[in-house]
Amino acid sequence: MTVVTCPTCAKKVEWTEANKFRPFCSERCKQIDLGAWAEEKYTIPGAAPSDPLLDDDNLPQ
């Protein structure tokens, strides 16, 4: 049996089909995580997108 840590509260959780909230321990922890995504508390680092209107390729010739 595999045991994982709930990403929200760090409680140990069995990874089984009986746990319908996996990897979370409960509906509450699942909703807390969803709320954090909705509030943009999690970010993925990356370069800022360029503005295609400012690219040299799009200037009139």
Q: Which residues share a beta bridge with 13? A: 4
Residues within the annotated binding site? 6, 9, 25, 29
The rounded distance, in Å, linking the Cα atoms of 44 and 35 is 16
Q: Residue ranges for the binding site for Zn(2+)?
A: 6, 9, 25, 29
User: Which neighbouring-strand residues pair with 4?
Assistant: 13
Return the structure tokens found at 9: 């509260």
